[in-house]
Structure 1
Amino acid sequence: MELVCPAGTPAALRAAVEAGAHAVYCGFADETNARNFPGLNFSRAELTDSIRYAHQHGAKVLVAINTFPRAGAQDLWHRAVADAERAGADAVILADVGLLAYATKNHPNLRRHLSVQAAAANADVINFYAAEFGIKRVVLPRVLTVAEIAAINKETEVETEVFVFGGLCVMAEGRCSLSSYATGKSPNMNGVCSPASHVVYDQEGPDLVARLGGFTIHRVGKTDPTPYPTLCKGCFTSKGETGHVFDDPASLNATDLLPQLAKAGVTALKIEGRQRSRAYVAQVVRSFRDAVDALAAGKPMPTGALAALSEGQAMTTGAYAKKWR
């Protein structure tokens, strides 16, 4: 299975490639990608140089242009597709139907992947995207069990890519409006979920209070860790009880499920983390490359190496092994 790894900067891309990534995904430094944060992402020149470096070391580069164009401003997204092809990208990762149609017509030789932001969760819709826009791979949303992924792969010839490590969004990707509600900035349109420009920390007595867009998200004591104020992982009081109403801060780690994912017909394994440091990227990629190589060689897979890198020091297999429906 191909290991697809994150790169928020050229330095992180080099670290991922050196650690054993088969492919790296990244985006331009603008609102065409869903990780549009200050200090992250690539200029056109940086992308060209980084793709050249990756190719010299046998790795692919996939460019995420996975937000939804604003009406009247679609030229920015059109230029991103053209610039990705010009830079030598091995594929673009797209979500918007209009942008997919544009790329299909104007850049027919550029390989197209369907972003997780499209939330394509069944074979019928995946086959529609393949027939209409020639997509070769779909990044599946993180709401499917392994059995459901296996069923999808039996009904489509499109390659499937699944997340195996990193931040776990509790919403159906491409459909979340929480950040938009709190800050006016949409992850699906502006590329930012809980943008740092709307985050404020205040000391109130013994507590440190974290707010997002004026909403109190966390209140912690002096010695307690202060999580980033993301709405879906906020701590709220409901029916007299205080806790993480939507989701506990935890990282997805599907290392132990790699054999089942391989048996289910998965083509590629995706690591989340374009906002992470190059040291983090290198450690996670190296660990997963060891696991993928061990699986391919029929050897026992390494376990426990990534516990220190999980959010809140907690890990979960997410929806992959869930029992409820």
Structure 2
Amino acid sequence: MQLVCPAGNLPALQAAIDAGADAVYAGFRDQTNARAFPGLNFSDEELSAGIDYAHARSRKVYLALNTYPDSVRLAHWQAAVDKAAEFGCDAIIAAEMAVLDYATRTHPGLARHLSVQGSATTAPALHYMYERFGISRAVLPRVLSIQQVERLCMNSPVPLEVFGFGSLCIMVEGRCQLSSYVTGASPNRHGVCSPASFVRWEEEQDGRRSVRLNKVLIDRFEPAEPAGYPTVCKGRFDVGGEVFHALEEPTSLNTLELLPRLAQAGVTALKIEGRQRGVAYVSSVTRTWRDALDRYHRSPQDWQLQADWRRSLSAHAEGHQTTLGPYHRHWH
């Protein structure tokens, strides 16, 4: 299985490659990708340099163009497809059909991966995208049970990629409305959940910190309590007089224990989430998964989950805890 790792900037790209990533995924410094945070992503020159760095080491670079343009701004996404082809990207990762259609017609030699934002969870959806746009891979949303993944691997016309580790989204990717409900800025159109311009941190008199998103109180933290980036789905709210994580507790998906089963199902690639995370995260998580994959490849029958792998990944997880998420769901 291919190990696909995040690259939020050039140092992270280099760190992922050096730690053993088979491929990295990156985005331009604009709203064409779903991690359009200030200070993240690549200029034209940086992306070109990153592609050179990866290709010199026989690794691949995929360009995330996974947001949804409106008709007025479609030309901007089309220009990004043109740059991906010009710079020598190994594939684009796209969700919106107009973007896929343009790439299919204009750059037929540029590989097209269906983004997780495309929300393809059924064999008919995958067949449609393959027949209409010639996709060569699809990234599955993080809402499927392991049994559903196995059945899709049996019936998909294209190789499948799944998320192996990282932040877990409670909504079917490509359909979340929570951030846009509070801010008016859609993650799917503007490229970021909880845009930084709407975030406000405040010090309270009792020493706690509060964080608001467009004036809506998302959470309060004790002085020594780790504070994550504020998103509506992972906030704490007063429900019937009780304050708790009403939608989702901060945690990270970790499918490492399912690696043998995913491999036997025929999953082509494992993706690590985290283009918004730093070099230390990218390097450590990539190195851990590289070791696990290499050991499985050398001796599948002897492969066992190692305690040091679990500790390493838990240290980089949201809330310092991990979950199998929907993978362990018994009903499906």
TM-score by length of 1: 0.98
Q: Aligned partners of 2:202, 2:44: CA distance in 1, in Å?
A: 38
**Counterparts of residues 139-288 of structure 1 (less than 5 Å):** 139-206=139-206, 207-288=208-289
Any idea what the Cα deviations from partners look like across 1:30-63, whole Å, max 9, x if unmatched? 1100111111111111111111110111110000
Of 297-306 and 176-185, more deviation after overlay is shown by 297-306
**CA deviation after TM superposition for structure 1 residue 226, in Å:** 2.2
Q: Aligned partners of 2:186, 2:284: CA distance in 1, in Å?
A: 31
| 1:7 paired residue number | 7
**CA deviation after TM superposition for structure 1 residue 324, in Å:** 3.7
1:311 maps to which of 306, 312, 318 = 318
**CA deviation after TM superposition for structure 1 residue 204, in Å:** 2.5
| 2:130 paired residue number | 130
| 2:88 paired residue number | 88
Q: Say if 2:40 and 2:276, in contact at 8 Å, map to a contact too.
A: yes
**CA deviation after TM superposition for structure 1 residue 195, in Å:** 1.3
Q: Given the alignment of the two structures, is residue 37 of structure 1 paired with residue 37 of structure 2, yes or no?
A: yes
2:329 maps to which of 304, 307, 322 = 322
Q: Aligned partners of 1:199, 1:323: CA distance in 2, in Å?
A: 38
Q: Aligned partners of 1:194, 1:183: CA distance in 2, in Å?
A: 8
Of 182-191 and 268-277, more deviation after overlay is shown by 182-191
Q: Say if 2:161 and 2:268, in contact at 8 Å, map to a contact too.
A: yes
Q: Say if 2:126 and 2:157, in contact at 8 Å, map to a contact too.
A: no
**CA deviation after TM superposition for structure 1 residue 221, in Å:** 2.3
Any idea what the Cα deviations from partners look like across 1:2-44, whole Å, max 9, x if unmatched? 0000000011000000000000000100110011111111111
**CA deviation after TM superposition for structure 1 residue 73, in Å:** 1.3
Q: Say if 1:146 and 1:264, in contact at 8 Å, map to a contact too.
A: no
Q: Aligned partners of 1:225, 1:286: CA distance in 2, in Å?
A: 25
Q: Aligned partners of 1:222, 1:285: CA distance in 2, in Å?
A: 32
**CA deviation after TM superposition for structure 1 residue 77, in Å:** 0.2
Which amino acid in 1 is paired with 2:330?
K
Q: Say if 1:8 and 1:41, in contact at 8 Å, map to a contact too.
A: yes
2:176 is paired with a residue whose SS is coil
**CA deviation after TM superposition for structure 1 residue 70, in Å:** 1.9
Q: Aligned partners of 2:291, 2:246: CA distance in 1, in Å?
A: 36
Q: Aligned partners of 1:132, 1:8: CA distance in 2, in Å?
A: 31
Which amino acid in 2 is paired with 1:101?
D
Structural RMSD (CA): 1.0
2:218 is paired with a residue whose SS is strand
Q: Aligned partners of 2:65, 2:227: CA distance in 1, in Å?
A: 32
Q: Provide runs of 4+ in structure 1 moved above 4 Å.
A: none
| 2:103 paired residue number | 103
More helix by percentage: 2
1:319 is paired with a residue whose SS is helix
**CA deviation after TM superposition for structure 1 residue 222, in Å:** 2.0
Q: Aligned partners of 1:203, 1:237: CA distance in 2, in Å?
A: 20
Q: Aligned partners of 1:263, 1:321: CA distance in 2, in Å?
A: 17
Q: Aligned partners of 1:5, 1:115: CA distance in 2, in Å?
A: 14
Q: Given the alignment of the two structures, is residue 300 of structure 1 paired with residue 304 of structure 2, yes or no?
A: yes
Q: Aligned partners of 1:248, 1:21: CA distance in 2, in Å?
A: 29
Q: Aligned partners of 2:98, 2:227: CA distance in 1, in Å?
A: 40
Of 54-63 and 150-159, more deviation after overlay is shown by 150-159
Q: Aligned partners of 1:70, 1:162: CA distance in 2, in Å?
A: 28
2:187 is paired with a residue whose SS is coil
For structure 1, the residue ranges without an aligned partner over 5 or more in a row are none
For structure 2, the residue ranges without an aligned partner over 5 or more in a row are none
Q: Say if 2:5 and 2:286, in contact at 8 Å, map to a contact too.
A: yes
| 2:25 paired residue number | 25
Q: Aligned partners of 1:224, 1:309: CA distance in 2, in Å?
A: 16
1:249 is paired with a residue whose SS is coil
TM-score by length of 2: 0.96
Q: Aligned partners of 1:52, 1:167: CA distance in 2, in Å?
A: 29
**CA deviation after TM superposition for structure 1 residue 85, in Å:** 0.8
Q: Aligned partners of 1:221, 1:91: CA distance in 2, in Å?
A: 44
**CA deviation after TM superposition for structure 1 residue 300, in Å:** 2.9
Q: Aligned partners of 1:276, 1:221: CA distance in 2, in Å?
A: 23
Give percent identity, aligned residues only. Answer: 50
* Count of aligned pairs between the two proteins: 325
Which amino acid in 2 is paired with 1:300?
Q
Q: Say if 1:294 and 1:301, in contact at 8 Å, map to a contact too.
A: no
